[in-house]
Chain A
Amino acid sequence: KNQVEQSPQSLIILEGKNCTLQCNYTVSPFSNLRWYKQDTGRGPVSLTIMTFSENTKSNGRYTATLDADTKQSSLHITASQLSDSASYICVVSRWNSGNTPLVFGKGTRLSVIA
């Protein structure tokens, strides 16, 4: 069954600290993996995308990693800011799957407090 599991479900950290969010998937055939950030009451916005051959991708203070062998990805946030408070959603795209090519995780709710 094609699934994307994220952990933790929610997380609270102090401003300035680092954190790492996890994503495990059982989706095949794999095309790419994307991390989205969703602010409260807004639509998701793409942070990074990685294909099978990419191990790491950075976007400012956000760094995503991908291990295609173990089917795991992580999103590392460095020197967190209050504006990082949001839900982070891991999305895996299936290759040549026809209908419903995207499999969404349920997200990790991050709260950054002062």
Chain B
Amino acid sequence: DVKVTQSSRYLVKRTGEKVFLECVQDMDHENMFWYRQDPGLGLRLIYFSYDVKMKEKGDIPEGYSVSREKKERFSLILESASTNQTSMYLCASSPPSQGCEQYFGPGTRLTVT
């Protein structure tokens, strides 16, 4: 079974703090993705990576950065958290072929106060 794990299920941070969300997958997948999910908006792609050290902007990259130093780990960084970044964050991974299933982690519910 593919397993995608995220470092925290729930996280509460203050405005201006630097926040790290970690994602690890155990299936040697090339592709990894970070989404945020908000009520009425569905899943929106923040950043993705097709290989180690590579990153590409998704639809809403502003206010976020990412790091992929190892194939199995993809980190999402909020340099200075703001209240509008309160959301559910979902990490996913997939094999390299287009159209392959993305396997999702359990999500991190981030609250910025």
Contacts and interface: CB of A to CB of B under 8 A. Distances in A.
Q: Are A and B interaction partners? A: yes
Interface of A: 31-32, 34, 41-46, 49, 89, 93-97, 99-102, 104-107
Interface stretch (B13-21, B67-75, B94-102): B94-102
A89 B109 CA distance: 19
Size category of the B interface is 20 to 34
B42 A101 contact: no
A42 B107 CA distance: 6
Instruction: Tell me if A's interface is mostly helix, strand, loop or mixed.
Output: loop
Contact of A46 (B48, B90, B101, B109): B101
Contacts of A101: 98-99
B43 A99 contact: no
Given A104-B43, A106-B42, A41 B107 contact: yes
Contact of A43 (B44, B48, B59, B106): B106
A106 B99 contact: no
Contacts of A45: 104
A32 B101 CA distance: 10
A104 B56 contact: no
Contacts of B107: 41-43
